[in-house]
Amino acid sequence: MSKTQQRRSTILEREPKTEEPRMYKVLLMNDDFTPMDYVVHILETYFHKPHSEAVAVMMSVHHQGKGLCGVFPYDLAETKVALVTADARQHQHPLRCVMEKE
């Protein structure tokens, strides 16, 4: 067997290493100005929460200072944060949406 064939067979014998993507929590942070119904709207629109779950998360934001919207891979979490932030600014609300490593 030639050296080229040996290298090729060695490369083919290796198992590709795959890892699960790191996951990130997307959170809404409490403020004193964003209306509660707007927060519910955000949760229903961008996180596809049913109304009752959106209300529960909104109440968590209101009473505990933050609420979990979901856990996503980095790119999706970053996109959701950007979309929510842009929507909030467009509607002149100071709502903060952040992401944290899980």
**Domain ranges in the chain?**
29-101
Average pLDDT over every residue of 16-25: 87
Supply the mean pLDDT for the chain.
Answer: 91
Q: What is the pLDDT of residues 59-102, one digit of tens each?
A: 999 999 999 999 999 999 999 999 999 999 999 999 999 999 99
Reply yes or no on domain 29-101 having CATH 3.90.1170.50: no
Residue-level pLDDT at 17? 77
Both tokens assigned to 20: 């699960």
Q: How confident is the model at residue 9 (pLDDT cuts 50, 70, 90)?
A: low
- Look at 94 and 2; give whichever has higher pLDDT: 94
H/E run at residue 7? helix 3-13
The three state secondary structure string of 20-82 is CCCEEEEEEECCCCCCHHHHHHHHHHHCCCCHHHHHHHHHHHHHHCEEEEEEEEHHHHHHHHH
